[in-house]
Every structure is written in structure tokens, then in C-alpha cells.
Structure 1
Amino acid sequence: MNMISPIESEPDTATAHKDGAFGRMPLWQRGALIALPVALLAGGVSLANREAPAVAAPPPPTVTVASPLVREVNEWDDYVGRFEASRTVEVRPRVSGAIVGVHFTDGAIVRKGQLLFTIDPRPFGAALSEARAGQASAQSELALAQSDLGRAERLIAVEAVSKSDVERLRARVRAAQAAVAGAQARVRARALDMEFTQVRAPISGRISDRKVDAGNLVAAGEGAGGSLLTVINALDPIYFAFDGSEALHLKTKRAQAAGAKASPVEVRLQDETDYRWQGRLDFTDNGLDPKSGTIRGRAVMANPGMFLTPGMFGNMRLAAGGTTTALMIPDAAITTDQARKLVVVVGKDGTVEPRPVELGPVLDGLRIIRSGLTAQDRVVIAGGQMAPPGAKVTVKPGRIAPLPAAATPAISAPVTGEATFAR
């Protein structure tokens, strides 16, 4: 009789029908099938843990550092202004009459005493002749009065004439002398009128265009009562007028109180890169404008070629004091945090640190640092954007040097509006 093991006993019919082939398997096979995926999963995880390499930390960023450039510099204060004529004269006639000649070219350079206009001299010539005739008549009356007085003075010794007659003759001589003086004055006045018919340049400079053509009548007088003939501007020397803020005015006054000498001024035009026009400060107004808080100043400079023109715009710089030692770094190494200016420096432990600084002017592409840095600091001049504050960095030595003149961007001339083919 065959004995059937409980393990090998056939499954329940309902269970076999429900689970299919899995339900017909023995219990030990079922356990093996269930444990196999779990073992495979555990083995895969263990194998993955054994084969996955460890992730290495990224290397610290590399930055280029350099110590600030130390140079002796002269600092300047910047102003803007315009050129003005050192003298301006409105040419007006001193006698009335008709213009019969214009003797200059519009816009030309004229010299003092040069003939500009001619007014019809004939009426004034006739008046001068009349005055001279009156002078001759007065001189004849004086000569007759002096002759009569001389005869009377010889006869008074023999009591041939009375003293009253002699006094009367002396009075007549004095009246004749006064008449001669008046006649001479009229001659001089008519001669001046005759001279004023030739309108000459009162100063040297560049003349404007003529306001009156030949054939027109002009009236003598000042202001609106007189006819304006032209305008002359004296251009050598020429003035440069500017307005300075109260802060700059106080700075200049304190420098002068400290014994600073008057320094020259330098001006550049809007299409120039160099301050090639030299001059000196010759006038500062006696008060500040309370509305704008500025004070008016003026510099004078030579202009022998008459190149500088009134109304021309210019940038002026005035020395703010003597020679000082300055720390200079590239302007690109400076960042902005709201209202603060920052420079990134590398400490002794190799960490980067932002440091607030006070900026000065730019010289040869380098920014002057007034405060916030020392000559021993290591300033990040390249690669700083890859290193956040407090991060460790790898230092690469660099060098700070002024930019050559050729690297300085030039100011281009205005673009031409249109062009045509040359013929």
C-alpha cells in the first residue's frame, strides 16, 4: 500500500481550479518561486552598490588676482561749459546818412582800424567847410579887436581916450577870442563827423555778416535808436565759461586755503580725446546762484589760429590739488550692489570676499580707488563671477597695467546725413 506524504498530497480541487498551474505546484516550489525575485532584487541592489563609483567633489574655481597698481597721479575736477568771445562789439554808425560802400567779407578776420563801411561824406564835408569859414570870420574879428585895443592903450597915456573905452575894447577882444574858440570847436566837431563817415573796426577779431547793404540810410545812436551794421567778436584770447557746483567750489576754496597754487585748466572739444587746449582760471563770480546752487567761473586761453569759436561746447578739467599716491584697478573688476560699489578680494585662506570701495576717476582704463583697498590686497580681476562670496578659489597671478593710448576708444565724428557720387 503506497503511503502519500502530506507534502505531496494533491491540492484541493477548488484551489487548483482557482490558482491554475501555480496552485497545482507543491508548497516548496511555490516558496522557491516567491523567494527568487526577492533574491534577484537584493542581489542586483548589492551589485549596483558594489559597482557604482563614488562622486568626486568639483574642484574650486580658478580666479586671476593682482595687487592694485600704485601710481602718483594728479586728480582733476570735471566741468562742462562753452566758449565765449573775450570782447564783443556791436558796430553802429556815429553819424546818420546813406551807406555808399561795404569794405569787408562776411565772416572774415578783421584788424583794428580796418575800414568796414563808408557813409556818404558830402553833407559832412559841406558842414566842415562852413565851420572853417566861421572860424576864419571869428579870427578876423579877434584880430580887429586886438588892433583897436592896442591903439587905445597907446593913447591912454596922453589921456586921449577914457579908461571906460579901453575896458570896452578889452571886453571886445575877450569876446572875439571866445568866438574863435567856439568856431574852432565847431570845426573839430564837423571834422569828427567827416571822420565818422568811415566806419572802422574798433577791435580785431572775426566779423559777422553785414546787417545793412550799400544804399540804405542808417541812423546814429545807441541801442534800439541806432542802426546795427555788424558785430565783431575778439577771439584771441578767448574765454571758457562754466558753472561749478557748490561742493566743487568749497573743495577749491579749501585747497587754496591750504596753500595750493593756482593750477592751469585743460579743455577738450566734443570730437577730441585729449585735453589739448591750455588756459588759466581768471574769474570766479562773487556769489552762488541760490536756485541752482552753482557758481559761474571763467577761464582764458590763447587762440592764435581763431579755431575756437564762441558757443562751442567743451569739457574742462581743473586740478583738484597736488600730486597724490593712488591705487588703481581695472574698471571691469568693480561690481555694483544697489548703491554700493564692490571689489572682490581673495583672503589669506583662499576665500573670496566682496569689499565696498569709494571710486575715483578713470585714468588710462584704470579706476582710481579712493578708499576700501590696500596695496597688499589681492583683487580678483578675472573669473570672479564663478566664485560666490565665501567660496574657496584657486589663485592665478595676474598683472594690472594701464591701457595704451591706442586701446582708448576714440570719439567718432558725427555721421554724415547723406552722400552723392563725386563729379
Structure 2
Amino acid sequence: MRFNATYLRFLQKPTLYFVTIGLVMGCTKKEEIILPPVKVNVVKAIQKDVPIFEEYVAQVFGESDVDIRARVEGWVTSVNFKEGSFVKKGDLLYIIDDIQYKNRVDQVRSQLTATQTEMVRAEGELSRVKPLADMNALSKQDLDNAKAKYEASLAQVRAAEASLENAKVEYGYTRVYAPFDGLVGISNFRVGDYVTRSGTTSVLTTISSIGAVRVRFQISEREYLRLTQMTTGELETAKKNIQLIMADGSLYSETGEVDFADREVDPKTGTLTIEARFPNPKGILRPGLFVKSRVLIKTFPGAIMVPQRAVMQLQHISRVFVVTDSSTVKAVPVETGPKSGDGWIITKGINAGDRIAIIGSASLTPDAKIEAVEQKWPENSPNQ
């Protein structure tokens, strides 16, 4: 039997082969990789009184928003205000062509004079007839006729006086004045436009009183029922502490108070309209502005809070990762309450001052070593 030369040389050196394999395995074992601790953001659980708010989309209205309407027909001959400016009560806003109304006053005044002259003549006739009738020099019929003429002339005088007053009133309507102090809007008519006393063409402009404003918002039936379950004290506190969040996210400096709730829930939307009144000393709030009303629902005294991103939820179970003294993390089940801002109230499971790891997308197991990166929370709190 013949053997391959290479195979024979292999059989002659078995010890060298196994030593080589052993060296390779030994080197592999020594080069095992040990991962460094994972850097994890860590915050401290805080304890403070936490107010819970509900926010609703709301709209601003003036304390009084009044359409200024024409009460006579005619051509606009003068516009005496600057649009968008503040006006005082009694300021002249418009003049409507008054010629026909002035002529009407003169005409009715002449009619009044004629009826007054007729009344004086009838009164004189009655004064002449009455003593003669008393002496039977004239018949009772003559006396009755004289009295009837006098009373008819007196009625005509009163009717003419009333007509004159009406004519004067209409003549006065050709001058349109501001009914109160306020902010005047855009004029719907210019000089030369024709206005009427009815329909949409009668609205000249709108004036709003904005020293204080009304803010309206709607709450759902469920929210309304929740409010009815609040105590009297909680409800009064909520009614007197309405806040406004402006469109840029800033908080309005003045606090409002609820004026009233509508008498019914709107069957079309299932909501109840609430109106609150806000001081507006700087005139920042204007009619039509959209804001958010923030209502204080309840205050949790001495509540434990952590960031919402620190709470891990799986179905109905919530937990946080607490950093231990040995720089490891421990999963702790917790019970949660309401959310406030970017925080979450924890009602059971941890204490104030506990160091909470914000795991995020990191994959960690309990007792895994971490490198804690201390973070400030909330953002406006002093450095920890």
C-alpha cells in the first residue's frame, strides 16, 4: 500500500499541529470584547403642588359689540373718524344728506302753525258762544258745534306737534354718533354711498368696547358632568381662575372669571357654551381673536412627578427605571395620575429624590451597568 508523502509528513509532526490549534484557541479567548457602560440621562423625581388644567379653544368678543346702523335713507356726505381708532361717546361718525329731512321739519312746522291758528280761532268762537248759550241767546246746538270745532282743532295741533317731533327725530338721525367709548371698525360706506334703514346695507360700521372682553368656549357633556362632581370650593376656585393662552403660546397676564353658562347643551354639537370676562387694560385682546382658555380643575398637593418620557407603559402596566447606588437600573412598577405639562404625577411606587433613568430607545436589562448623565428637570428648575 502506497502513502501520500504529504500525509506521511503530517503523521511525523502531530505534536506541532495540536500545539498550533491550542495557541489559536488561547488567543481567541484572551481577545473577548467587554462593552463599556451605556450612557443614560437621569433626572430626580420632584415633589410639589401640581395644578391640573383643562384647555379649550375659545374666541374673544368685546364687552359690547354694536353694529352702527343707518336709521334714515340717503347719501353719505361725511365720514368723521379714522377706521380702527378709539372713539368717545358722542363723537360724530357720519353725516347723511339731510336736505329732505330738514325740509320735512319746516313743512310740519308750518302745518303746526296753521293748526294752532285754527285752534285759537275755534277757542275764540267757543268763548263767544258759551255765554250767549248760557243766556239762551244761542241754542245748545250752537254751543256743541263750537266745542266740537275747538276739540278738533286741539287734536290737530297735538297731531301736528307729534309729526314735528318725528320729523326732528328723523332729521337728527342724519347725524350718527358713537353710543359709547370704544374701538371703531372698518367703515362699510364711503362718502357718496347710498345707505338704507333696513337689511345689511344699514350697517355703517361696528364699535366694540374692549376695556374688558368676553371669552366664549365650549365644553363637552362629559366635561360638564365632571364639573358637577367637583366640590363647591373647587368649583368656585375654577370659576375665578380662568387663564388665557395666546396664539404664540404665551400666557395672558390677566386672570378671568366665568360670567355664565348657557341654559342648554347645544343638541347639534353636544357642547355647553361658557363665557368668561377678562380685564383688558392694555387693549391686547380684540374681538374675533382665537385663544385657548385654561381652567383649573384640581390641585394635587405634594405630588411626586417625573417626566412623561421616563414612564414606560405596556398595556395597563406602567413602570420607571430607578438608578441604584451601584450604577445599575431597576424596573419599578408605578401607579400614575394626571399629566401636567411634560410631567406625570406618580401616585405610588417611587419617592421624591429618586433618580429616574430616561431609557428612551436604549435596550437595557435590569442590573445592567450604566453611566448616569444628570439632567435638569423641569427646565426652569435650578441646577440639581
- Aligned with residue 216 of structure 2, among 231, 235, 241: 241
Aligned to 2:132: 155
Moved more, 394-403 or 88-97: 394-403
1:81, 1:313 within 8 Å by CA — same for their partners in 2? yes
| Deviations 1:368-418 (CA, angstroms, capped at 9, x unpaired) | 3154544368452356876734335579797875422899xxxxxxxxxxx
Shift of 1:191: 0.5
- Which structure is larger by alpha-carbon Rg, 1 or 2? 1
Look up the equivalent residue of 1:375 and give its one-letter code.
N
Q: d(CA) in 1 for partners of 2:225 and 2:52?
A: 16
Q: Which runs of 5+ in 1 are unaligned?
A: 1-14, 23-29, 408-423
Assess, with a 3 A threshold, how the Cα gap between structure 1 residues 105 and 320 changes in structure 2: closer, same or farther: same
Assess, with a 3 A threshold, how the Cα gap between structure 1 residues 163 and 113 changes in structure 2: closer, same or farther: same
| Deviations 1:259-279 (CA, angstroms, capped at 9, x unpaired) | 631232111212243342422
Aligned to 2:226: 251
1:236, 1:302 within 8 Å by CA — same for their partners in 2? yes
Moved more, 256-265 or 127-136: 256-265
- Aligned with residue 333 of structure 2, among 332, 340, 355: 355
> How does the TM-score come out when normalised to structure 1?
0.74
| Deviations 1:13-41 (CA, angstroms, capped at 9, x unpaired) | xx7xx56999xxxxxxx9x994x633445
Tell whether 2:191 aligns with 1:191: no
| Deviations 1:150-197 (CA, angstroms, capped at 9, x unpaired) | 333333443223333323322222222211110110110110111011
Aligned to 1:179: 156
| Deviations 1:353-376 (CA, angstroms, capped at 9, x unpaired) | 15355353445xx51315454436
Look up the equivalent residue of 2:174 and give its one-letter code.
T
2:313, 2:319 within 8 Å by CA — same for their partners in 1? yes
Aligned to 1:271: 248
Look up the equivalent residue of 2:115 and give its one-letter code.
A
Moved more, 144-153 or 185-194: 144-153
Tell me how many residue pairs correspond in the alignment. 378
Assess, with a 3 A threshold, how the Cα gap between structure 1 residues 385 and 354 changes in structure 2: closer, same or farther: farther
SS at match of 2:264: coil
RMSD of aligned C-alpha atoms? Answer: 3.9
Query: 1:402-417 maps to which residues of 2 (within 5 A)?
Result: 402-404=378-380
| Deviations 1:286-333 (CA, angstroms, capped at 9, x unpaired) | 333445443322222122333222222212211103563321123442
Aligned to 1:3: none
Q: d(CA) in 2 for partners of 1:63 and 1:231?
A: 60
Q: d(CA) in 2 for partners of 1:229 and 1:97?
A: 13
Aligned to 1:9: none
- Aligned with residue 89 of structure 1, among 34, 42, 66: 66
Look up the equivalent residue of 2:58 and give its one-letter code.
G
1:128, 1:191 within 8 Å by CA — same for their partners in 2? yes
> How does the TM-score come out when normalised to structure 2?
0.80
Assess, with a 3 A threshold, how the Cα gap between structure 1 residues 300 and 33 changes in structure 2: closer, same or farther: closer
Assess, with a 3 A threshold, how the Cα gap between structure 1 residues 50 and 393 changes in structure 2: closer, same or farther: closer
Q: d(CA) in 2 for partners of 1:91 and 1:164?
A: 57
Tell whether 2:343 aligns with 1:367: yes
Look up the equivalent residue of 2:225 and give its one-letter code.
L
Assess, with a 3 A threshold, how the Cα gap between structure 1 residues 405 and 242 changes in structure 2: closer, same or farther: farther
2:111, 2:160 within 8 Å by CA — same for their partners in 1? yes
2:49, 2:299 within 8 Å by CA — same for their partners in 1? no
Moved more, 258-267 or 394-403: 394-403
Look up the equivalent residue of 1:169 and give its one-letter code.
A
Q: Which runs of 5+ in 2 are unaligned?
A: none
Look up the equivalent residue of 1:242 and give its one-letter code.
F
1:352, 1:393 within 8 Å by CA — same for their partners in 2? no
- Aligned with residue 146 of structure 2, among 142, 158, 169: 169
SS at match of 1:260: helix
1:72, 1:324 within 8 Å by CA — same for their partners in 2? yes
Q: d(CA) in 2 for partners of 1:259 and 1:210?
A: 46
SS at match of 1:229: strand
SS at match of 1:134: helix
Give the fraction of aligned pairs with identical amino acids, expressed as a percent. Answer: 23
Assess, with a 3 A threshold, how the Cα gap between structure 1 residues 76 and 65 changes in structure 2: closer, same or farther: same
Q: d(CA) in 1 for partners of 2:96 and 2:75?
A: 5
Aligned to 2:356: 380
1:65, 1:396 within 8 Å by CA — same for their partners in 2? yes
